[in-house]
């Protein structure tokens, strides 16, 4: 698709020079109450996501994080960066919430995450690309969530985009 | 979740029990924003949405993704889920009801496990496709 001459307005808001940037590892505690609330909002009925006794009865050390909680950890990492005086990744790559959409999300699981876990997340700014002659501008972020003893638990791929018009 | 699905339970073409969710209310979006720690005001602040040229706030893509994940793990158990991914095809609006579907596409071997590839979708009450993707689930 060629450039659309009629499309004025902001273009290319992502800071493409950040391609290859890797965040410093961010350490996060997974809180039982937070995980349970998240599971409840999604209407999770499997008690392993909300009931400590039921989770332990199935051999888990604590309640289990729902699969999409990995995305919450990605967001919490940005919060934590801000708290510790660093620029959050969304700011580093130049996200503009007025135009921002979530394009794709993928998770690969090597292990479960439990309440009480301390996990470490790092994120790589893998790529930027455009579609529709620059009317859509994409960034691909790859994150790894790991645990000191259990190793890598989740690998995520998040595609965000700016839509102009 | 004790019983692990076998290849008998996951033949190509078999459908997962479908799951409906909604209608999506503004208060649900506020709660999801808090629960997911999403800082994007476009989902909860109509003033922000209008200033950005949008008619209204709209739902988080990850909300539908979370419901689709719930459909899959209700079927197979969370421990059996190896991968799940989706593309957000269209925005989900306030008051939409989402229905999630899953269909087994194929079963194959990978790294000593039998995996089922599940095609997943979330559609709205008027047939708009909000999300489409796939999950890989380990069979017993």
Least confident of A1-10, A55-64, A66-75: A1-10
Q: Do B35 and A98 touch (CB under 8 A)?
A: no
- Say whether the ipTM exceeds 0.85: yes
Note the pLDDT tens digit of each residue in A98-129. Answer: 899 999 999 999 999 999 999 999 999 999 99
Tell me: pLDDT of A165 over 90.
Answer: no
Domain for residue A3, yes or no? no
- The string of pLDDT tens digits covering residues B36-84 is 999 889 999 999 999 989 999 999 999 999 999 999 999 999 999 999 9
Instruction: Indicate whether A8 belongs to any domain.
Output: no
Report pLDDT digits (tens) over B84-127: 999 999 999 999 999 999 999 999 999 999 999 999 999 999 99
Work out how many domains chain A is built from and give that number: 1
Query: How close, in Å, is residue A158 to chain B by CA atoms?
Result: 10
Q: By the CB < 8 Å criterion, does A91 face chain B?
A: no
Q: What is the pLDDT of residue A25?
A: 96
**What span, in angstroms and rounded, lies between the C-alpha atoms of A147 and A143?**
13
**Interface contact B81-A67, CB threshold 8 A:** yes
Contacts of B50 in chain A (CB under 8 A): none
Residue A5 has pLDDT above 50, yes or no: no
For position A58, what pLDDT does the model report?
Answer: 95
Of the candidates B92, B100, B98, B139, the residue with the CA atom closest to the CA atom of residue B119: B100
d(CA A138, CA A154): 22
Residue B104 lies in a domain: yes
Q: Does a cis peptide bond (omega within 30 degrees of 0) precede residue A12?
A: no
For residue A37, the model assigns a pLDDT of 97
B41 within domain boundaries = no
**A32-45: average pLDDT:** 97
Q: According to the model, what pLDDT value does residue B6 have?
A: 83
Residue of A nearest to B53 (CA): A98
Interface contact A71-B28, CB threshold 8 A: no
- B65 in contact with A, Cβ within 8 Å: yes
A21 vs B: CB within 8 A: no
Give me the pLDDT at residue B120, please. Answer: 98
Q: What range defines the domain where residue A106 resides? A: 16-31+67-163
- Residue B7 pLDDT grade (very low, low, confident, very high; cuts 50, 70, 90): confident
**Could you tell me how many residues make up chain B?**
140
pLDDT of residue A3: 45
**What are the two backbone dihedrals, phi and then psi, of residue A156, each rounded to the nearest 5 degrees?**
-120, 150
Whether B12 maps to a domain, the answer reads no
The CATH number given to whatever domain includes residue A150 is: 3.10.129.10
pLDDT in tens, A81-98: 999 999 999 999 999 988
Domain count, chain B: 1
Q: Could you tell me the residue range of the domain that residue B83 belongs to?
A: 19-24+59-139
Closest CB to A41 among B35, B72, B88: B35
Integer Cα distance of A50 and A63 in angstroms: 6
**Band of the pLDDT at B8, cuts 50, 70, 90?**
confident
What pLDDT is attached to residue B21? Answer: 96
Determine contact, residues A44/B70, Cβ cutoff 8 Å.
yes
Q: Which of A58, A76, A104 is closest, CB to CB, to B88?
A: A104
Give the minimum alpha-carbon distance from A20 to chain B in angstroms, rounded to a whole number: 23
């Amino acid at each position: 698709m060629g450039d659309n001459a009629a499309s004025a307005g902001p273009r290319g808001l992502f800071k493409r020079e950040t391609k290859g940037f890797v965040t410093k590892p961010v350490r996060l505690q997974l809180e039982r109450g937070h995980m349970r609330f998240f599971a409840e909002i999604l209407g999770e009925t499997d008690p392993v996501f909300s009931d400590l006794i039921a989770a332990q009865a199935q051999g888990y050390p604590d309640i289990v994080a729902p699969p999409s909680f990995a995305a919450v950890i990605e967001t919490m990492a940005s919060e934590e960066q801000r708290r510790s005086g660093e620029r959050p990744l969304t700011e580093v790559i130049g996200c503009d919430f007025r135009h921002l959409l979530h394009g794709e999300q993928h998770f690969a699981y090597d292990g479960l995450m439990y309440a009480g876990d301390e996990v470490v997340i790092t994120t790589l700014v893998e790529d930027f690309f455009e579609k529709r002659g620059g009317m859509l501008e994409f960034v691909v972020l790859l994150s790894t969530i790991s645990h000191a003893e259990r190793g890598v638990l989740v690998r995520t791929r998040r595609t965000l985009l700016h839509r102009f018009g | 979740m004790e019983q692990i699905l076998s290849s008998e339970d996951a033949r190509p073409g078999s459908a997962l029990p479908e799951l409906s969710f909604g209608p999506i209310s503004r208060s649900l979006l506020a709660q999801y924003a808090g629960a997911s720690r999403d800082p994007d005001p476009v989902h909860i602040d109509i003033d922000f949405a209008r200033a950005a040229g949008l008619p209204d706030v709209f739902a988080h893509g990850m909300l539908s993704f979370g419901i689709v994940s719930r459909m899959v793990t209700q079927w197979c158990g969370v421990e059996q889920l190896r991968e799940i991914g989706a593309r957000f095809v269209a925005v989900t609006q306030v008051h939409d009801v989402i229905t999630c579907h899953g269909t087994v596409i194929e079963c194959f071997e990978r790294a000593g496990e039998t995996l089922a590839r599940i095609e997943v979708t979330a559609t709205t009450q008027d047939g708009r496709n909000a999300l489409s993707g796939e999950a890989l689930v380990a069979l017993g």
